[in-house]
Structure 1
Amino acid sequence: MSAFRISGFSGLVPRLAKQLLAPYQAQIATNCDLTSGDLRPRSGPKAVFAPVINNDIVSMFRMEKDGNEKWLAWDRDVDVARSPVAGNTSRRFYYTGDGEPRVSDYETATRGTGPYPSGCFVLGVTPPLKAPAISISGGAGAVVTRAYVCTFVTPWGEESKPSPAATATANADAAWMLSNLDTAPPNSGTVTGASRNTPLPGHVEVMLDSVFGLRAHEEITFASVSGMTDLNATFAIHSVNAGTNKIVVPLSTTQIYIAGGTWARKAPHNTHGMIKRIYRTLSTSEATEYHYVATIPAIATAYTDTASDEDVALGEILPSANWEMPPADLKGILILPNGVAAGFSGNEVHFSEPFKPYAWPTAYRQTYDQDIVAIGFTGTTLVGMTQGNPFTITGVEPVTMGGGMEKLGVAWPCMAKRGVASFAFGVGYPAPQGMVIIGASSDIVTNDLFTQKEWSELNPRTFIAASADNRYYCGYTIDDSSLMFVIDKTERASFIRINQRISCIWTDPATGRLYVAAEKKIYEWEGDAGSKLSYEWKSKKFVTTPPVNYGAAKIDADFDVSEAELAATQAAHDSAIAANRAVITQRGMDDGLADPGLGEYAIGGDAMDEIPPLIADSLQFQLWADGALKFTKKVSNNRAFRLPAGYKADNVEIVLSGNVKVTGAVLAETMDGLKQA
């Protein structure tokens, strides 16, 4: 007598034929939670924030201070790293991808009503360009030779590389008068001219009152330009000529500049309250080093030094001799466990001084022979993903990390920077061959799930991913249709699809919670315990010889609703009603033809949330035989039920759909046969 039992539900294995799957594996597994081996529904996402943003959310970041939570959102691919400094009470953070590398904190980033971040500064400190001028007055002591430099220091304690040195010889006890000291670089100024198609077609050369502190790839905004009004916008600088005070921006225009105009940095220098530190050389039998002399306001252009060598010897040695700003086109910023910030540009990896993400010595740069797509880290190892072979860099101190660079001997190109995710055991990313994990061992970890053809059908170039609980959560797009999937290598349910369109996915490293963005809103993934997604699970094709007629079935499921589930459902229901009432009160439904939301919702749609039902438990069973649907039943208890007679088939499949926890299913030719299965 033929019978079969399914116990311990699992996900898809697309590379296997449907009849070769194990009894617990699926042809379809959508919206399922299979982590326990039971078939469970996933909880719905919980709306947590609706940022002020014009386009789809591509990147997001949660900030919290003193119990207050704010969300930052971008329509660009932005990487964010929290400050590694202990006692980061200001919640300082660093980010790349939104123009030049930038730094902000809670207060600066969340001023006003949004969009957030509403404020930032350029990451790093522009050094003084001019060497001090030295003049001498008086003195009768020993004759010495000294060199002087100065640095800028922001209100946040970030120090620049020193200015060029000025050297003089005079009596040690003389008054050494320094002048010609640079003031802080400007954050805005005036436009004095503009020439179209110069120096290249499709570019405009703009003359400014000053280019001090401006670099190629930084963003600049022009306003009030007459004649060439196309210039009144924000641009990434193509090049800077310090000798002529000219910059070049990409702009194709037929207009002629007439007069006027202003410019302003998108990411200003942190100059309010900036100071200058002055250092001078002091020679000993062992070395000549720059020692701290004095601090003066950044606006001061002169200083007179009368300090003795004995006093100066007690001063701090210049720490920033080799500190550079990070490249203006730096991407992928992250903080390694040793406090070193890392990023990449082109085919170079850049490292900062430990716990000083504003200081990036040139000597720490490492060059690779292929362009870099993304970086990640596992432990103290940085993983570089490229257009060809991946590489790793291992070390503790950035000055020695170059010796730990290792090129992997296999070409596994990274197909999507946003598809990279870090796990406890390595860094994962999509390659043409499958999902790669680089860690203690490196391999294609989806070979047992997909052939390369099946993997490519997921369109890996569109992947946007994050890891949570060491699972790979990924959104992808095929033919303008967006879905999600989950890969979990630690359980039998290795591949599951989810009917959810998302534009962004992110795991909060502070809490481990997973968040997604959809329709310009941010949701906590499975954060709404009061709502359940409806799942669908289709079994393997069970083949029998000779053909049989399965006449009985039994589904083991949990139809009881706990008090906690009832309370969560009621809370979700009430919350949606309250949110919709607030939308109506504020007249923000965006459901009229003249409303700003026109085009964002389907005809008849609006900005209100869907109200979840109070009780929504359901379970449907389907029996398919020889590829045809034979029977459908709404299941509401654990009692066995009869299946239709009048046919025999050599293959059957079952489909379970609903939102009830199922622990097992059994089919047999007779009711008595169920007991023996």
Structure 2
Amino acid sequence: MKLALSAFKHEIPRTDPRLLPEGHAQAARNVDLERGTVQAIRGLQTAQGLPRVSSPTTLYRYPHGNGGAGFWLVWGSGKRVSVTRSPLANDQWERVYWTGDGFPKMAAIDQATAGSPPYPSHYHRLGLPEPEGRLRLSEPDNRDVNDLPATALDTAYAVTLVSAYGEEGPPVFSDSTIVRWDDVDGAPAGGGVVVELPSVPSGPYRIKTKRLYRVESGGVFQFVAELSPSATTYTDLTASERLGAELPSTEWQMPDAGMMGLTDMPNGILAGFFGNTLCFSEAYYPHAWPVGYQLAMPDDIVGIASVAAGLIVLTKGKPQLITGTSPSAMAQMELDIHQQCVSARSIVDMGEYAIYASPDGLVAAGGRSAEVITANVFTKSQWADLNPESIHAYRYDGRYLAFFDGGCFVFTPGEGLVFHDIAATGGYYDLADDSLYLLQGERIAIWRHGEPMTYRWRSKIYEVPPGGASFSCAKVIARRYPVTLRLFADGAKVLDHDVQDARMFRLPSGYSLCRDWEIEVEGLHEINSVQVATSPAELT
């Protein structure tokens, strides 16, 4: 009789060790099973050249500039920040946007990285406010007519603020109309209008100009003039035929001061949320967040993820799927699963779907459905022991890598789990250099860039009829040696042997009446197979 292992697989904690499928493990620690062999994973390596921040909690690397090294942005003090780059192609200012650090913020990369690190060192508030005060209209001093000319029109005005980046905010409208006419042949003098301009509110906005618009006889507001932000009055003598572009920003409000979870979507749209309200920016105008685009969820939002099927919204109730290509016409669908999200940082975009931690296990939500994908992996009590509220997770090599209070696990859908003896308080996956950066107190380290870690892999329990387990010899095929082989019989360790080469070696006698047998390997070198047999002739 022979016990042979040549395809090493993952843990399935829910299944009794006697009932595990062939090749699956009771324990798989610090192992890489991608090749079907047992390999040691590499540990962490301290990252060099990153800025020092006391107790960092969020990392982000802007991939361009700085001699090809990019720029690191770091936040501490417990801030959980969501960062995204400008949705504009070839953005001349290379802007970065973020939420989770007070009110929503933005900065051009040269502004965010001005001076010495840590960065960001400077910022502006995301969005532009309305001008402050009233917009008043009056007749010019030279108007003195009793009969208005035939070209006289009722007009109203609007003023917006424009940033140094060309962003335009919502308007303030005049609270009355006034008659004006063009200065043409035969028209009396005084056809212009004196506009008393509102002021610029204080705040980190980087306002560059005021922009004046005019509407005539029920038409649309059209551009009149670009004015200094300090201008207080303007006399409008612009002829009707010389009016410019239509006012675009009537509904372009600032994002709510409490908005968080900033996420980029296709078609130049950004999304965020506060409370139970989901928000969308105007397409390719990340400073503009119309209230009319907001959607109310049945429950408070925990986090969001943009996947191939749309935007997955995870709440304190059922998840929601938001679909659409225009922020003004988004459709909302509730996914039929009673699994709330218990940790915003557990939400990971896996491409076709998002995975998140729920009270009963990991849930995959995407398309038009959602399901608990660890239902056959964990019991409810095993899952609760991991403290799912503490999970923060990342997509790495197509797998779900989750850190919890006490360690971490890698979940591969359809295969199972591997646990690693590594702890972290946060992290950032850098797509540009395919590296996962982890936070460990004051240390920032790179996942799987360090020295190999000692692995441990234990087989299922093999039940052998008493008297049939006269195992006398064993062989371990490895890439390098030494490796350690352990045998357990009826729960007791009967062998702990340092294997030095691929030759057969003898096993201790006296255990032929034992029923339950387990095989465990430990080491740093890759193992291809393990054989335990009753006679040397059975070994290959």
Same fold (TM over 0.5): yes
1:604-623 equivalent positions in 2, closer than 5 A: 618-623=482-487
**What CA distance in whole angstroms lies between the structure 2 residues aligned with 1:463 and 1:406?**
27
- Map 1:592-671 onto structure 2 (within 5 A): 618-648=482-512, 649-671=514-536
d(CA) in 1 for partners of 2:500, 2:130: 73
Structure 1 residue aligned with 2:470? 549
> What residue is the counterpart of 1:473 in the other structure?
401
1:148-187 matched pairs, under 5 angstroms: 148-166=157-175, 167-173=177-183, 174=190, 176-187=192-203
Question: Per-residue displacement from partner, 1:328-371 (whole Å, max 9, x unpaired)?
Answer: 00011101112111111111101110011110111101111211
Out of 340, 359, 377, the position equivalent to 1:449 is 377
Query: 2:3 maps to what in 1?
Result: 4
Equivalent residue letter for 2:536:
M
Q: In the aligned structure 2, how far is the partner of 1:299 from the partner of 1:624?
A: 83
Structure 1, residues 470-492: CA drift from partner, whole Å, max 9, x if none? Answer: 21111101xxxx211110115x3
Gaps of 5+ in 2: 184-189
Select which of 139, 150, 156 maps to 1:147.
156
On the 8 A contact 1:130/1:164 being kept in 2, the answer is no
1:578-634, Cα deviation, whole Å (9 max, x unpaired):
xxxxxxxxxxxxxxxxxxxxxxxxxxxxxxxxxxxxxxx752111111111111222
Offset of 1:101 from its aligned partner? 0.7
Equivalent of residue 311 in structure 1, options 242, 260, 266: 242
Are 2:335 and 1:432 equivalent residues in the alignment?
Answer: no
User: Which position in structure 1 is the counterpart of 2:265?
Assistant: 336
Query: Residue 269 of structure 1 aligns with which residue?
Result: 205
Deviation at 1:122, TM superposition (A): 0.8
Q: Which residue of the partner structure matches residue 54 of structure 1? A: 54
Q: What is the identity, as a one-letter code, of the residue corresponding to 2:173?
A: P
The residue identity in structure 2 corresponding to 1:672 is A
Q: Which letter maps to 1:388?
A: G
Q: For residues 299 and 441 of structure 2, what CA distance do their matches in structure 1 show?
A: 37
SS in 2 for 1:43: coil
Of 151-160 and 634-643, deviating more is: 634-643
1:119 aligns with 2:122: yes
Question: Deviation digits for residues 627-649 of structure 1, max 9, x if unmatched?
Answer: 11111222232222221112222
Give the letter for the 2:75 counterpart: W
Please give the alpha-carbon distance, in whole angstroms, between the structure 1 residues aligned to 2:436 and 2:194. Answer: 56
Whole-Å separation in 1 of the counterparts to 2:502 and 2:93: 56
The answer to whether the 8 Å contact 2:196/2:234 transfers is: no
Q: For each residue in 1:388-411, what CA deviation from the matched residue of structure 2 results, as whole angstroms up to 9, or x when unmatched? A: 11111111111110xx21112331
Q: 1:92 aligns with which of 87, 92, 95?
A: 95
Q: What amino acid maps onto 2:349 in structure 1?
A: S
Q: How does 1:98-113 map to 2 (within 5 A)?
A: 98-113=101-116
* Counterpart among 488, 500, 511 of residue 422 in structure 2: 500
Q: In 2, Cα distance between the equivalents of 1:89 and 1:659?
A: 50
CA deviations on 1:195-223 (whole Å, 9 max, x unpaired) are xxxxxxxxxxxxxxxxxxxxxxxxxxxxx
Distance 1:379 1:129 in 2: 42
Query: 1:215 maps to which residue?
Result: none
SS of the equivalent of 1:65 reads: coil
* Alignment-derived partner of residue 414 in structure 1: 341
Q: Secondary structure at 1:454's aligned position in 2? A: helix
Query: 2:206 corresponds to which letter in structure 1?
Result: N
Cα offset, 1:69, TM superposition: 2.6
Q: Structure 1 residue 380: deviation in Å?
A: 4.9
Distance 1:370 1:25 in 2: 40
Match of 2:63 in 1: 64
Contact residue 134 and residue 176 of structure 1 kept, 8 A: no
Give the TM-score of the pair, scaled to structure 1.
0.74
2:250, 2:431 → 1: CA distance?
34
Query: Which residue number in structure 1 is paired with residue 136 of structure 2?
Result: 133
Matches within 5 A, 1:233-272: 268-271=204-207
Contact 2:400–2:412 (8 Å) recurs in 1: yes
Q: Give me the whole-angstrom Cα distance separating, in 1, the residues matched to 2:210 and 2:531.
A: 79
How far does residue 509 in structure 1 lie from its aligned partner after superposition? 3.8
Letter in 1 for 2:455: Y
CA contact (8 A) 2:399 2:411 kept: yes
1:88–1:135 CA distance, 2 compared to 1 (3 A): same
- Give the distance between the partners of 2:457 and 2:505, measured in 1 at CA: 20
- The alignment partner of 2:241 has SS state of helix
Query: Residue 152 of structure 1: CA displacement?
Result: 0.7
Per mean C-alpha deviation after superposition, the further-off stretch among 298-307 and 104-113 is 104-113
- Whether contact under 8 Å (1:464, 1:474) holds in the other structure is yes
Q: 1:505 to 1:639 in 2, by over 3 A?
A: same
> Cα offset for 1:177?
4.3
Letter in 2 for 1:524: I
SS state of the match for residue 108, structure 1? helix
Q: Which residue of 2 aligns with 1:209?
A: none
* Partner SS state of residue 373, structure 1: strand
CA distance in 2 between counterparts of 1:89 and 1:60 reads 24
Distance 1:296 1:467 in 2: 49
Counterparts of 1:547-586 in structure 2, within 5 Å, are: 547=467, 548-559=469-480
What is the one-letter code of the residue matched to 2:477? Answer: D
Counterparts of 1:3 and 1:643, CA distance in 2: 13
For residue 524 of structure 1, what is the aligned residue in structure 2? 446
Distance 1:389 1:178 in 2: 56
Q: Distance in 1 between matches of 2:501 and 2:21?
A: 27
Decide whether aligned partners of structure 1 residues 172 and 23 sit closer, same or farther in structure 2, where only a CA change above 3 A counts.
Answer: same
8 Å Cα contact 1:434/1:444 also seen in 2: yes
Counterpart position of 2:295: 366
User: In 2, Cα distance between the equivalents of 1:534 and 1:45?
Assistant: 13
Give the CA deviation at 1:386.
0.9
Deviation, structure 1 residue 426: 0.3
- 1:485 aligned to 2:416? no
Deviation readout 1:531-566 (Å, 9 max, x if unpaired): 21221111111110124132111112112xxxxxxx
Calculate the aligned-residue CA RMSD, in Å. Answer: 1.8
- Paired with 1:113 and 1:338, the residues of 2 have a C-alpha distance of 35
- Give matches, 1:19-58, under 5 Å: 19-49=18-48, 50-55=50-55, 57-58=56-57
**Please, what TM-score do these two structures have when normalized by structure 2?**
0.92
Tell me, yes or no, if the aligned pair for 2:2 and 2:534 is still in contact at 8 Å.
yes
Give the direction of change, closer, same or farther, for the CA distance of 1:523–1:324 in structure 2 (3 Å limit). Answer: same
Instruction: Measure the CA separation in 2 of the matches of 1:355 and 1:335.
Output: 11
> 1:126 Cα deviation (Å)?
1.0
Give the distance between the partners of 1:42 and 1:88, measured in 2 at CA.
Answer: 40
Shift of 1:65: 2.3
The alpha-carbon deviation at position 179 of structure 1 amounts to 4.2
Report if the CA contact (8 A) 1:135-1:176 is conserved: no
